[in-house]
């Protein structure tokens, strides 16, 4: 676990209005140019947990013209259109921060723009299915939610592909948005990308990132605020099986005062070579007075042979805040919880089932999309079959 | 009549620096229908007695025996001991996030009885048990012990005691940390349980306060890992007046 505090250079009066720069390995320089992002060797700080070779295609390939099948029932007033590469750059929250995202944007040659206009209130969740049919796909998706709109948007990734994406989520002032991304890939899929979120003034945003399939998944999630008063909750769930790599790298940039963030990611690992990575960076800039942030990562290691890397980072440039903290736990079952349940007559296997179920249900019930909640509960049951089989003491 | 019989019980606590003996030969017999109070200073091994009888993995029984109704408990798993009729109300009830009180109680009742409780009466029974301990019915939707106040945790333990209705119960400092109102509510629950006449109770406490509400038939003073003296109510009164000094001096 590391904590870093960065002291910005003193601001001279004539540069007081200039953009503050924070130099740290945690903050790569965003750029649309692929050449600005060399092919990683695996020794770089941000790549050191990643099996770079597995992602080789997504780090080196040129444009393929491949696409995921797009399927959605669009409610009234919600539109989907194609924009040019130039428009995509204009609209995006920020340029790519790594080579995968740079290639995704460059090779996609334009972007898909999903528009939910201002003040639209969606009664039903907007469910978008992106299905891979093999091959290599580079993709750029932009979701724009207008001021004071209310919506739940769920993107479900299925099938098989080598998939690199850049996703930009622009949330308007006062909007209330629930964004769910489900990685429910076939076992041979490889997925890496960057999701950048900009939260409008007083907007309330919840994101749920659920990763359960694929050979390797690496998602960089970045959030920033467009004005004060924005509130962000980020939940994550991941189930990592033998030989799988699942990586979530989060960065919350408190660049506006009186903003809130809460991060809670939970994972379960089982089987030889199951590897999860969670990196949670939070930056509290000097201007971000009165903010509140807490991030937590919990990993439940169900069998031998798994590895869970968990690294929270907190950089604080102002002490004038409501609160900031983080926690990270990785372990097997909590003996005290099991003892408590068993002391009431509940058998070992059933006690384990209750604990694992409880661990995930806490987050699943916040997804707000019944079809995805059901899919997640199904996955929890599948995990449990391994937990309860043959381990009764 | 049922009997909880503890004889020659020696127990080690397992620490990073190896095992340390805490219980040094405990002999104690509780017949159903009786309330035995175990009183002792901090560190005398009272809680170790409770947790080792229940089978907590941190403790190892090195010799001696504990039988309930003639069944040797020491060779059984934690859940088997509970199903044999033993209940432990814990000093620090454990939080189990995401598991609702309702789900927990139903799972426990099903395990103890060997069959699921009747749907029609069960919810009513749970609500009644909670209500008797002045716990709101919304309580059953909350995660087990998560965010409960100290008093709520203890009242929840006694609600379980009444719902699961075991043959024998060990209450480990259920009174500690309770204000006087909560202490009365909890004591009433304990008294309802023992009013059934065929249940046995081992009440572990540091203070004499609870004994004003729950009246023991037998009082044991516990010092340095074993019973130092056994008597009636008058022993508790003496402790109230003079404290543990007479006993700790002798042990030292």
Predicted confidence (pLDDT) at residue A10 exceeds the cutoff of 80: no
Task: Please tell me the distance from the alpha carbon of residue A184 to that of residue A21, in angstroms, as a whole number.
Answer: 38
Q: Which of residues 263-282 of A touch B (CB under 8 A)?
A: none
pLDDT of amino acid B63: 97
User: How confident is the model over A331-346, as a mean pLDDT?
Assistant: 94
Q: Which two tokens stand for residue A252?
A: 């919350």
The span from the CA of B231 to the CA of A268, in Å, is 54
Could you tell me the two tokens for A357? 């179920």
How do residues B143-164 score in pLDDT, each as one tens digit? 999 999 999 999 999 999 999 9
User: B88 CA to chain A: closest CA distance, Å?
Assistant: 7
**Predicted local confidence at residue A391, as pLDDT:** 47
Strand B143-144 with B168-172, pairing: unpaired
CA distance A175 to A86: 27
Instruction: Summarize the confidence of residues A65-75 as an average pLDDT.
Output: 94
Under the banding of pLDDT at 50, 70 and 90, the label for residue A362 is confident
Alpha-carbon distances of A277 from A189, A233, A247, A274, B195, rounded to whole Å? 18, 20, 4, 10, 56
Question: Per-residue pLDDT for B10 more than 60?
Answer: yes
- How many other C-beta atoms lie within 10 A of the C-beta of residue B114? 8
Backbone Cα Rg of chain B: 18
Interface A:B, Cβ pairs < 8 A: 85
CA of B244, closest CA in chain A: separation in Å? 31
**Testing the interface with B: which of A334, A342, A345 to mutate, by most B Cβ within 10 A?**
A345
Q: Is B57 on the interface with A (CB under 8 A)?
A: yes
Residues A132, A102 contacting (CB under 8 angstroms): no
**Residues of A in Cβ contact (< 8 Å) with B58:** 335
Which residues, 6 or more positions from A91, have their beta carbon under 8 angstroms from its beta carbon? A83, A111, A113, A142, A144, A168, A170
For residue B135, the model assigns a pLDDT of 95
Residue numbers in B near A358 (CB within 8 A)? 96-99, 143
> What pTM did the predictor assign?
0.80
Residue B252 — very low, low, confident or very high, per pLDDT cuts 50/70/90? low
- Give residues with Cβ within 8 angstroms of B251, minimum separation 6: B223, B224, B228
Res B69: pLDDT: 93
pLDDT tens figures, A149-201:
999 999 999 999 999 999 999 999 999 999 999 999 999 999 999 999 999 99
Q: Is the pLDDT of residue B19 over 80?
A: yes
Residue A5 has pLDDT above 90, yes or no: no
Mean pLDDT, chain B, whole residue set: 94
Across chain A, mean pLDDT equals: 91
Candidates B58, B68, B75, B79, partner chain A, best to mutate (most A CBs within 10 A): B79
- Mean pLDDT lowest for which of A96-100, B39-43, B248-252? B248-252
Any chain B CB within 8 A of the CB of A36? no
Residue A19 has pLDDT above 70, yes or no: no
Q: Give the residue from A94, A180, A103 showing the smallest Cα distance to A137.
A: A103
In this predicted structure, what is the pLDDT of residue A2?
34
**pLDDT value at position B232?**
94
pLDDT band at A209 (very low <50, low <70, confident <90, very high): very high
Cβ-Cβ contacts under 8 Å, B108 against chain A = 341, 344-346
Q: Is the distance from CB of B163 to CB of B129 less than 8 angstroms?
A: yes
pLDDT tens column, A266-285: 999 999 999 999 999 999 99
Per-residue pLDDT, averaged over B9-27, amounts to 95
ipTM value for the complex:
0.96
DSSP code string of A246-293 = EEEEEEEEE-STT-EEEEEEEEEE-STT-EEEEEEEEEE-TT-TT-EE
Residue B177 DSSP label: T
Judge contact between A185 and A132, C-beta under 8 A: yes
- pLDDT at position A6: 36
DSSP-derived secondary structure letter, A303: S
Residue of B nearest to A347 (CA): B79
DSSP string computed for B150-170: HHHHHHHHHHHHHHH--SEEE
* Cα separation, A286 vs A22, whole angstroms: 11
- How far is C-alpha A314 from the geometric centre of its chain's CA atoms? 18
A221 — phi, psi (to 5°)? -115, 125
Most confident of B17-21, B96-100, B246-250: B17-21
Which residues pair with residue A131 across a beta bridge? A69, A158
pLDDT tens digits for range A122-156? 999 999 999 999 999 999 999 999 999 999 999 99
At B250 the pLDDT is 64
- Long-range contacts of A375-383, Cβ-Cβ distance < 8 Å, separation of 24 or more: A375/A182, A375/A184, A376/A210, A376/A212, A376/A237, A379/A212, A379/A239, A380/A356, A383/A239, A383/A268, A383/A270, A383/A302, A383/A356
**Is A349 an 8 Å CB contact of chain B?**
no
Contact A354 B99 (CB under 8 A): yes
Predicted confidence at residue B119, as pLDDT, reads: 86
Please name the residue of chain A whose CA is at the shortest distance from the CA of residue B161: A344
Per-residue pLDDT band for B251 (boundaries 50, 70, 90) equals low
At residue B2, the pLDDT reads: 85
Averaged pLDDT, B15-19: 93
CA distances from B2 to B29, B88, B204 (A): 11, 17, 20
User: Taking a contact as any Cβ pair under 8 Å apart, which residues of chain B between 117 and 136 contact chain A?
Assistant: none
């Amino acid at each position: 676990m590391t904590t870093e505090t960065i002291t910005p250079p003193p601001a001279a009066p004539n540069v007081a209005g200039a953009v503050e720069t924070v130099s740290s390995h945690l903050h790569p320089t965003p750029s649309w140019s692929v050449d600005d992002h060399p092919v990683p060797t695996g020794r770089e700080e941000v790549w050191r947990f990643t099996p770079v070779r597995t992602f080789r295609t997504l780090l080196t390939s040129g444009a393929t013209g491949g696409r995921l099948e797009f399927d959605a029932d669009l409610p009234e007033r919600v539109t989907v259109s194609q924009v040019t590469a130039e428009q995509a750059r204009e609209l995006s929250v920020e340029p790519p921060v790594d080579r995968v995202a740079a290639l995704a944007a460059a090779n996609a040659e334009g972007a898909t723009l999903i528009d939910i206009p201002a003040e639209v209130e969606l009664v039903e969740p907007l469910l978008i299915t992106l299905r891979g049919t093999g091959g290599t796909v580079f993709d750029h998706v932009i979701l724009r939610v207008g001021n004071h709109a209310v919506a739940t948007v769920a993107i479900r990734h299925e099938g098989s592909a080598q998939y690199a994406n850049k996703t930009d989520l622009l949330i308007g002032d006062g909007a209330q948005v629930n964004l769910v991304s489900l990685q429910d890939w076939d076992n041979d899929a490889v997925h890496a990308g960057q999701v950048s979120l900009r939260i409008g003034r007083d907007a309330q945003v919840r994101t749920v990132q659920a990763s359960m399939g694929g050979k390797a998944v690496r998602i960089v999630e970045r959030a920033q605020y467009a004005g004060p008063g924005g509130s962000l909750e980020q939940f994550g769930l991941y189930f990592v099986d033998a030989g799988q790599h699942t990586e979530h790298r989060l960065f919350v940039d408190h660049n506006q005062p009186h903003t809130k963030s809460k991060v809670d990611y939970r994972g379960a690992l089982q089987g030889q070579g199951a590897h999860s990575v969670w990196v949670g960076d939070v930056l509290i800039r000097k201007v971000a007075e009165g903010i509140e942030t807490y991030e937590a990562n919990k990993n439940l290691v169900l069998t031998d042979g798994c590895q869970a890397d968990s690294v929270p980072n907190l950089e604080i440039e102002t002490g004038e805040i409501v609160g900031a903290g983080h926690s990270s736990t990785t372990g097997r079952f909590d003996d005290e919880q099991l003892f408590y349940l068993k002391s009431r007559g509940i058998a070992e296997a059933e006690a384990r089932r209750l604990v694992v179920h409880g661990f995930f249900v806490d987050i699943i019930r916040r997804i707000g999309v019944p079809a995805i909640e059901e899919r997640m509960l199904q996955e929890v049951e599948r995990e449990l079959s391994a937990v309860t089989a043959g381990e009764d003491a | 009549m049922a009997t909880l019989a503890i004889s020659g019980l020696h127990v080690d606590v397992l620490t990073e620096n190896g095992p340390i003996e805490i219980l040094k030969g405990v002999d104690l017999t509780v017949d159903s229908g009786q309330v035995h109070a175990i009183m002792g200073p901090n560190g005398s091994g009272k809680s170790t007695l409770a947790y080792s009888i229940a089978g907590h993995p941190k403790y190892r029984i090195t010799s001696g025996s504990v039988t309930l109704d003639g069944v040797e408990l020491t060779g059984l798993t934690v859940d088997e001991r509970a199903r044999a009729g033993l209940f432990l109300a814990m000093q620090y009830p454990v939080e189990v996030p995401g598991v609702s009180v309702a789900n927990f109680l139903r799972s426990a009742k099903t395990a103890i009885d060997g069959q699921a409780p009747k749907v029609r009466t069960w919810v009513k029974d749970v609500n009644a048990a909670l209500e008797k301990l002045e716990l709101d019915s919304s309580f059953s939707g909350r995660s087990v012990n998560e965010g409960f106040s100290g008093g709520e945790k203890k009242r929840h333990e006694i609600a379980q005691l009444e719902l699961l209705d075991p043959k024998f119960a060990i209450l480990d400092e259920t009174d500690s940390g309770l204000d006087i109102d909560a202490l009365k509510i909890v004591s009433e629950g304990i008294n309802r349980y023992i009013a059934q006449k065929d249940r046995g109770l081992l009440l572990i406490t540091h203070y004499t306060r609870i004994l004003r509400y729950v009246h023991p038939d037998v009082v044991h003073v516990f010092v340095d890992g074993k019973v130092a003296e056994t008597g009636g109510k008058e022993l508790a009164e003496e402790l109230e007046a003079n404290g543990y000094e007479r006993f700790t001096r002798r042990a030292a």
